[in-house]
Structure 1
Amino acid sequence: MHRVLLRRLEGGHVEARDRTDDGAPAGVARLGPGELAGYVAERERAGVRWVWDDTTRWYPALLASGVRVERCTDLRLGHAVLRRSPFLDRALLTGPDTPGWDALAPAEPGDAALFPLTDPADALDPGAEEDRQRAAVAASPQRGRLALLLAAESSGALAAAEMTATGLPWRADVHERLLTELLGPRPAPGLRPRELERLAGEVRAELAAPDLNPDSPAEVLRALQAAGLAVADTRSWTLERIDHPAVPPLLEYKRLARLLSANGWAWLDTWARDGRFRPTFLPGGVVTGRWASSGGGALSVPTLVRPAAVADEGRRLVVADVAQLEPRVLAGMSGDTAMAEAARAADLYEGMVAGGAVATRAEAKLGILGAMYGGTRGESGRMLPRLARRYPRAISLVEEAARAGERGEVVSTLLGRGSPPPTGAWAQRPLDLGEAPEETGPRADRDRDRRAWGRFTRNFVVQGTGAEWALCWLADLRNRLWRLGEGPLEQRPHLVFFLHDEVVVDTPEELAGAVVEEVHRSAGVAGRLLFGTFGVDFPLDVAVVRSWADAG
Structure 2
Amino acid sequence: MRIAIATTSAGRVELLDPDGGLHLDCDAAELPERVARLEAEAAPRWVWRDTREWAPRLLGAGVRVARCHDLRLCGAILASSTAVAAGGSIVRERPTWLPAGPAEGGLDPAAAPAPSVDRGPALFDFEPAPRGKAHGSPSVADLAREHDRQVALAAASDRPSSMRLLLAAESAGALIAAELHAAGLPWRRSVHERVLEESLGPRRPVGGKPARMEELAVAVRRELEAPALRLDSQADLLRALRAAGIGVDSTAKWELREHEHPAVAPLLAYKRLARLLSANGWAWLDEWVVDERFRADYVAGGTATGRWATSGGGALQLPKAVRAAVVADPGWSLVVADASQLEPRVLAALARDPAMAAAGRGRDMYRSIVDAGVVATRDEAKVALLGAMYGATTGDSGRLVPQLARAYPRAMALVDRAARDGEAGRQVTTLLGRSSPLPPPSWHVAQAAASQPDATAVEERRARSSAREWGRFTRNFVVQGTAAEWALCWLAGVRTRLAAMEAGGTRAAASGPVFERAPHLVYFLHDELIVHTPADQADAVADAVRAAAEEAGRLLFGDAPVEFPLDLAVTGSYASVGA
TM over 0.5: yes
Matches within 5 A, 1:33-52: 33-45=28-40, 46-52=42-48
How many angstroms does 1:333 deviate by?
A: 1.0
Instruction: Find the counterpart in structure 1 of residue 531 from structure 2.
Output: 505
Q: What is the TM-score of this pair, normalised by structure 1?
A: 0.92
- Which residue in 1 is equivalent to 2:11? 12
Q: Which position in structure 1 is the counterpart of 2:120?
A: none
Which whole-Å CA distance do the structure 1 matches of 2:565 and 2:536 have between them?
24
- State the alpha-carbon separation in 2 of the partners of residues 522 and 122 from structure 1: 38
Aligned mates of 2:284, 2:375 — CA distance in 1: 46
The match for 2:54 among 54, 58, 79 is 58
Contact 1:53/1:121, CA 8 A, preserved across alignment: no
Alpha-carbon shift at residue 30 of structure 1 (Å)? 1.7
Report the AA paired with residue 213 of structure 2: L
Distance 1:478 1:329, change over 3 A: same
Q: Report the 3-state secondary structure (helix = DSSP H, G, I; strand = E; otherwise coil) of the residue aligned with 1:26.
A: coil
Q: Say whether the 8 Å CA contact 1:169–1:276 is kept in structure 2.
A: yes
Structure 1 segments (4+ residues) deviating >3 Å: 90-97, 102-106, 118-121, 424-436
Q: How has the CA–CA distance of structure 1 residues 266 and 429 changed in structure 2, closer, same or farther, with 3 Å as cutoff?
A: closer
Segment of structure 1 superposing worse, 195-204 or 144-153: 195-204
> Pairwise mapping of residues 140-289 of structure 1 onto structure 2 (< 5 A)?
140-289=157-306
> What is the deviation of 1:324?
0.5
Relative to structure 1, the CA distance from residue 105 to residue 217 in structure 2 (aligned partners, 3 Å threshold; closer, same or farther) is closer
Q: Label 1:359 to 1:240 Cα distance change in 2 as closer, same or farther (>3 A).
A: closer
Q: Which residue of 2 aligns with 1:476?
A: 493
Q: Deviations over 1:155-206 (max 9, x none)?
A: 0111110010010001111111111111111101211111111111111122
Higher relative contact order (CA 8 A, sep 6+): 2
**Partner letter of residue 29 of structure 1?**
L
Partner residue of 1:112? none
Q: Please tell me whether the aligned partners of residues 18 and 144 of structure 2 are also in contact (alpha carbons under 8 angstroms).
A: no
Following TM superposition, by how much is the alpha carbon of 1:226 offset from its aligned partner in structure 2, in angstroms? 2.0
- Between the aligned partners of 1:168 and 1:53, the Cα distance in structure 2 is 27
Cα distance in 1 for partners of 2:94, 2:164 equals: 23
Q: 1:374 to 1:432 in 2, by over 3 A?
A: farther
Query: Residue 531 of structure 1 is aligned with which of 546, 550, 557?
Result: 557
Question: Could you tell me which residue of structure 1 aligns to residue 547 of structure 2?
Answer: 521
Give the aligned partner of residue 111 of structure 1.
Answer: none
* Per-residue deviation, 1:360: 2.6
Is the 1:407–1:430 Cα contact (8 Å) retained in structure 2?
A: no
Answer whether contact 1:322 1:502 (CA < 8 A) is retained: yes
1:202 and 1:536 map into 2 onto residues whose CA distance is 52
SS at match of 2:21: strand
- The 3 A distance-change label for structure 1 pair 464 and 220 is same
**What is the SS of the residue equivalent to 2:28?**
coil
Select between 91-100 and 229-238 the one with higher mean Cα deviation: 91-100
Instruction: Find the residue that maps to 1:503 and give its secondary structure.
Output: strand
Query: Does structure 2 retain, via aligned residues, the 8 Å contact 1:221–1:231?
Result: yes
Q: Which amino acid aligns with 2:4?
A: L
Matched, 1:389 2:406: yes
Structure 2 alignment gaps of length 5 or more: 104-132, 505-513
Q: Which runs of 5+ in 1 are unaligned?
A: 107-117
Q: CA deviation at 1:217?
A: 1.3
Q: Secondary structure at the match of 1:19?
A: coil
Q: 1:47 Cα deviation (Å)? A: 1.8
Distance 1:435 1:395 in 2: 33
Which residue in 1 is equivalent to 2:125?
Answer: none
The answer for the alignment partner of 2:98 in structure 1 is 101
C-alpha separation in 1, matches of 2:29 and 2:166: 33
Structure-to-structure mapping, 1:382-531, within 5 angstroms: 382-424=399-441, 426-427=443-444, 440-486=457-503, 488-531=514-557
Q: Render the CA deviation track for 1:358-399: whole Å, top value 9, x for unaligned.
A: 333222222211110001333322322322222111111000
Q: Which residue is 1:32 aligned to?
A: 27
Contact preservation (8 Å) 2:187, 2:293: yes
- Mean Cα deviation higher: 240-249 or 495-504: 240-249
1:127 corresponding residue in structure 2 = 144
Instruction: Specify the SS of the correspondent of 2:98.
Output: helix
TM-score by length of 2: 0.88
